[in-house]
Amino acid sequence: MNGHSKICIIGAGTVGATAAYSIAQKHIVRELAIVDVNNDKAEGEAMDINHGLITIGRMNIHSGTYADVKDSDIIVVAAGLGRKPGETRLDLAAKNINIARDIAQNIKQHYNGGVILVVSNPVDIMTYVILKETGLPAGKVFGSGTVLDSARFRYMLSKALNADIRNIHGFMAGEHGESQFAVWSSVHVSGMKLDSYCDKMNVEIDKDGLVNDIIGLGAQVIKRKGVTNFAIAAIVAELCGTIMGDCGSIFNVSSFIDDYYGIGNVCISVPSVLGKNGVVSHLPYDFSEDELVKLRKSAKGLREFMDQLGI
């Protein structure tokens, strides 16, 4: 790392704290500030991570206030009410909108650059609200979107195919929720199209069943342990590393769409080029006609829901 680098995490709950640990483990930045309304909790998390620095290396990890937004390269928003068993991400919206507005106003008071990565659910709506409330350029604010869902997709495919996950590529798009869909046209195994691979290897996949399982995986984890934190924390660290490295990598993050295949005025996940300034551009992916129908339907559903909430 050259020069000073800083990440500020808003929210020291299970997701925020685990993300802080994952970021520290990868030694992505020199300074990591953890901010929470419960300062004792934030301070305790910082202390706990600091006590393991002997395995990480020198870092300045500390609790803080919204003033720590200043000079941050990345501001990770992980605050908000968690999803309860049986509750959809969209059910959370009405509760978390006011939290998002409050966070955005506090960030505005100290913001002088950097990008905002929203993790709190429902992430597409939270991202939209924080973008509008801060008034920042669209690419500067984005959400984790379907990056985790895409990771789950590849994991489930690896199990179904009995193949190394590193050889499997493909992604989920749309809302980070019930209307997301698998972009089957994107799936390949070691460069081979999925259908061709399955035919030659004599493997059958229940595509609809697999997608339904993926959509419900988060709820299944929550049912068993009350929260999902390890996988999303690993995703946050990966995205932060990409931003700090200005890699130009493509991820299905959620960001503001303005006339993408006729879709506009919504934050939704499509293939996006990610760099130090956030979302640099949206990749005009070659969706099939059926996939475009699903993408538009997902966006329409989100937009209608936000209209009901007056967003």
Task: Give the catalytic positions in this structure.
Answer: 176
Alpha helix stretches (DSSP H) within the chain: 14-25, 39-50, 93-110, 123-134, 147-161, 194-201, 207-225, 230-244, 289-309
Instruction: Locate 112 and state its tokens.
Output: 């002088």
Q: Are 253 and 263 in contact (CB under 8 A)?
A: no
Question: Which residues, 6 or more positions from 43, have their beta carbon under 8 angstroms from its beta carbon?
Answer: 63
Q: Could you tell me which residues come within 8 angstroms of residue 50 by beta carbon, excluding any fewer than 6 positions away?
A: 61
CB under 8 A, 24+ apart: contacts of 97-106: 97/125, 97/126, 97/129, 97/309, 97/311, 100/125, 100/126, 100/129, 100/130, 100/133, 101/129, 101/133, 103/10, 103/77, 103/79, 103/130, 104/129, 104/130, 104/133, 104/134, 105/133, 106/66, 106/69
Q: Which of 272, 29, 259, 260 is nearest to 139 (CA)?
A: 272
DSSP string, 192-205: EEHHHHHHHHT---
Nearest C-alpha neighbor of 123 from the set 94, 90, 152: 90
